[in-house]
């Protein structure tokens, strides 16, 4: 597990805690973060020590503001990775599908901003808790 992945995930007893940990971007999903989350979920699905997964956002302002649009915009502008948007969304949707079909209960705890890809993550959780300050939005629509 990479250093960044260790910052995203920890085990507390029989609970796997996954923290979307980029409060400076309102926990926006970068491609790297999506890959790490998928790796963590794949491991925890087969780990008998994990009985439940909790997904939360770091910081006080957001659970997850969605995909890191800045990362995608920069990739399109510089022309170095024209395949990046397709790869990004393919990985994001695979991660969402993994959450929806996860073999163990998944609890999402949302606060603040929950938009776009963040709502995709949250909607996939079997159980969902929201704080009074939550704002849910799907700007793509």
pLDDT recorded at residue 76:
84
CA dihedral 136, 73, 70, 35 (to 10 degrees): 80
- The pLDDT tens digits of the residues spanning 59-101 come to 999 999 999 988 888 888 888 778 888 999 999 999 999 999 9
CA dihedral 65, 68, 69, 75 (to 10 degrees): 180
pTM, rounded to two decimals: 0.91
Q: How confident is the model at residue 2 (pLDDT cuts 50, 70, 90)?
A: very low
Output the average pLDDT for the chain.
92
Residue 127 φ/ψ region, left for φ over 0, alpha for ψ in the -120 to 50 degree band, beta for the rest? beta
CATH of the domain at 22: 3.90.226.10
- In a domain? residue 28: yes
- Work out how many domains the chain is built from and give that number: 1
Cα–chain center distance at 22: 11
- In a domain? residue 17: yes
- In a domain? residue 24: yes
- The pLDDT tens digits of the residues spanning 97-118 come to 999 999 999 999 999 999 999 9
- In a domain? residue 141: no
Q: In 3D, which of 105, 103, 141 has the Cα closest to residue 120?
A: 141
What percentage of the chain carries pLDDT values higher than 90? 80
- The pLDDT tens digits of the residues spanning 36-54 come to 999 999 999 999 999 999 9
- Quote the domain boundaries for residue 22: 3-136
């Amino acid at each position: 597990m990479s250093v960044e992945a260790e910052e995203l995930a920890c085990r507390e007893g029989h609970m796997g805690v996954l923290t979307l940990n980029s409060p400076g971007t309102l926990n926006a999903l970068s491609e790297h973060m999506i890959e790490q989350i998928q790796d963590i979920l794949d491991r925890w699905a087969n780990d008998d020590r994990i009985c439940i997964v909790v997904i939360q956002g770091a910081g006080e302002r957001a659970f997850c503001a969605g995909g890191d649009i800045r990362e995608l915009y920069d990739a399109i502008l510089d022309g170095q990775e024209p395949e990046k948007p397709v790869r990004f969304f393919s990985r994001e949707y695979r991660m969402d599908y993994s959450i929806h079909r996860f073999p163990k209960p998944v609890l999402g705890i949302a606060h603040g901003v929950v938009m776009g890809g963040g709502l995709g993550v949250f909607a996939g959780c079997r159980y969902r808790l929201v704080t009074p300050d939550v704002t849910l939005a799907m700007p793509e629509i």
